[in-house]
Chains A and B, each alone.
Chain A
Amino acid sequence: METIVYSGVTLEIPSEICQDISLLFEIISPDTWNNHLTDEHREMLMGFLPEFPHNDLEEKTRTLEMFFMDENFRYGTPLRIFHEQLCKGFFNPEISKMRAIHKKIMYREYRYRQKQYFHHTLEEVLVRRKRVLDIVSN
């Protein structure tokens, strides 16, 4: 089982989904939407779609269609991105804790490299300035 902890929701999902993405597409599908959810559910879930300034309902319906039909949104589709994150343990509390630590360490290394870079650049600028001043004073 894969554990999902996300914004107050805890779920256990069979890990076989990671081997076969089609299982996910069957669960999150137009069929599920149309035949396994009530009107109240659908209305509640529609609230998780983006708000549009004009033709809100029409655009929301179109968005839902794109969402189910696996159309590209942003360097991938929402479902594929979710699948990838799920299988990498993104939603697993243990793994995400380790990931946060890893990220912090990488960030520190980055700051260190930045400092080195600026130190090096400063030296370079000072040497150049000296050269220019020498030329001027001669």
Chain B
Amino acid sequence: VVSDAGNWCLIESDPGVFTDLIHKFGVKGVQVEEIWSLDDDSFINLKPVHGLIFLFKWQQEEQPSGTVVQDNRLDKIFFAKQVDDKQCLCHTSNPINIAQLKACGPTAGIYTQQTLFEFDKQQPSEDDDVFHFVGYIPIEGRLYELDGLKDGPIDLGPIPPGTDWLTVVQPVIQRRIQKYSEGEIHFNLMAIVSDRKMVIERSITQLQREIEESEGDTSSQEEELARLRVTLETEETKRTRWQIENIRRKHNYLPLIVNMMKILAEEGKLLPIYHNAREKARARHEKSKE
């Protein structure tokens, strides 16, 4: 039992920090992106999605959504149990590889010999509580929920062959979002996706080296290089667009709505517009009755 919080790393619920953490584990080629809706559209740009991380401010008592795995599947699934109260952390001494990392969704922090991350050293106050994390991943044709506060991975049932696992996890997440929106619990949803940009950049560097070292004809390599540069540019444009979308989505639009109404009310226009709208609605209603 670890009592000294100094040995633990605290991390923020930010996709950039998560990505960094994953890279420091030595896992390459993946990154974490925040997602804002469960529409198929929002997943298209991200696919393939290796896992989802659902994080929320605090947890109410709830019925387990499936059965806790206790059989020999545990040999293949890496599951870390949360052992420290205040920091929402989990404890693991196992070496980490990609398969394990995929299963390590619910970890808010990882115990390591060297401290990888040291943010927020203060104890969270009552209003400023830390987040709890739950991971969702497909393992060998079944969907699992990994919650560090549970006794083991939770089996959420099979993923029918030929089906994208995202379609299976969607209703599960949807239910959670619904519940947490109603309870005003803050939550984020993040996806572990392939970092295509990094893969392309690496291929470019390698090709450049090959061209430099080669003494013969390099036209085919140069062609490939040009193609990769175009793909890289597309990825970069995509990322810039992402940043803009994130700014747009993180914004609070309530002041805009309320102030627009306030101006209309002050100008004596709110009620006339409202009555007009009601007339229109009534006319529409009459029309649909006919």
Q: Residues of A at under 8 Å CB distance from B? A: 4, 6-7, 9, 11, 13-14, 16-17, 20, 22-23, 26-28, 32, 36-37, 41, 44-45, 48-52, 59, 63, 66-67, 72-75, 78-79, 82, 99, 103, 106-107, 109-110, 113-115, 117-118, 121-122, 125-126
Contact = CB atoms under 8 A, between A and B. Distances in A.
B81 interface: yes
Interface stretch (B54-62, B71-79, B133-141): B54-62
Interface string B172-196: 0000010001011000000000000
| Chain B interface, >50% SS class | helix
Contacts of A115: 85
Given A36-B264, A36-B269, A115-B85, A74 B259 contact: no
Contacts of B38: 75
A125 B84 CA distance: 12
B109 to A, nearest CB: 16
B270 A23 contact: no
Interface size class of B (residues with CB under 8 A): 35 or more
Given A75-B177, A99-B184, A122-B1, A14 B274 contact: yes
Interface string B86-98: 0000000000000
Contacts of B184: 99, 103
A107 B261 contact: no
Interface string B272-290: 0110111011001000000
Nearest to A10: B262
A64 B37 CA distance: 19
A37 B256 contact: no
A125 B1 contact: yes
Given A16-B278, A26-B280, A59-B244, A11 B1 contact: no
Contacts of A17: 274
B273 to A, nearest CB: 5
A37 B253 contact: no
B192 to A, nearest CB: 20
A135 to B, nearest CB: 18
Contacts of B258: 4, 6-7, 9, 11
Nearest to B38: A75
Interface of B: 1, 36-39, 58-61, 81, 83, 85, 126, 129, 149, 177, 181, 183-184, 244, 247-251, 253-265, 267, 269-270, 273-274, 276-278, 280-281, 284
A126 to B, nearest CB: 8
A4 B278 CA distance: 20
Contacts of A7: 254-255, 258
A11 B85 contact: no
A28 B59 CA distance: 36
Nearest to B271: A14
Given A27-B277, A63-B248, A122-B1, A72 B259 contact: no
A78 B256 CA distance: 10
Given A49-B251, A52-B244, A27 B256 contact: no
A7 B284 CA distance: 36
